[in-house]
Amino acid sequence: MTVLVLDNPELIAKAAVASGFNAASLVAEGNRPHRMKFHYGFNKHALDSSDKAIILQHAAYLRLHPTVCVWVHGHSDNFGDEDYNRFLSRLRTNAVARLLMSEGIAESRLLVASWGSTRPLATPDDRAANRRVELEYLDRDMAQAL
């Protein structure tokens, strides 16, 4: 017997989208989606279809939990000018925020921060890991304090 083990979340998400997986059904019980980081290619700011599917799961969760806010952090790698990196990270966060708002999440529930390359996830040389958007859930009191 052969067992196939998929340990690549991106590949799993693409397969789920291709099979017609309904993202909203996953959060019907109120479980928060596990994937909180979305990585980008060099100089890219558009979400791919598997990332969009996961963001839609987050939107469904947020609709079920109206007192929860989300902080959208945008990051870039350290290649190039820091002003451009900050701009690119802003494009990335705006793409995620616009998708959440298009799914009915109020702008007042979203906090957006664009860090450029100042907060790397990995070593500065691991550029691919540092090109990302992260979601962080907050309650209303914490969001107002920020």
What average pLDDT does the structure give for the chain?
83
Query: At CA 139, angle to CA 138 and CA 142, rounded to 5?
Result: 75
- For residue range 43-73, list pLDDT tens digits in order: 999 999 999 999 999 999 999 999 999 999 9
CATH (one of 3.30.470.20, 3.30.1330.60, 3.20.10.10, 3.30.379.10) for 33-145: 3.30.1330.60
- For residue range 95-104, list pLDDT tens digits in order: 999 999 999 9
pLDDT confidence band for 27 (50 / 70 / 90) = very low
Q: Report how far residue 60's alpha carbon sits from residue 32's, in angstroms, rounded to the nearest whole number.
A: 9
More confident residue, 60 or 9: 60
Q: How far is CA 145 from CA 69, 101, 138, 140, in A?
A: 12, 22, 10, 9
Residue 96 pairs with which residues in a beta bridge?
none
Least reliable range by pLDDT among 30-39, 59-68, 74-83: 30-39
Q: What is the pLDDT at residue 31?
A: 83
Least reliable range by pLDDT among 100-104, 119-123, 133-137: 119-123
pLDDT confidence band for 137 (50 / 70 / 90) = very high
Percent of the chain with pLDDT over 70: 75
pLDDT confidence band for 146 (50 / 70 / 90) = low
Q: Is the dihedral of CA 36, 42, 46, 48 positive or negative?
A: negative
Cβ(143)–Cβ(72) under 8 Å? no
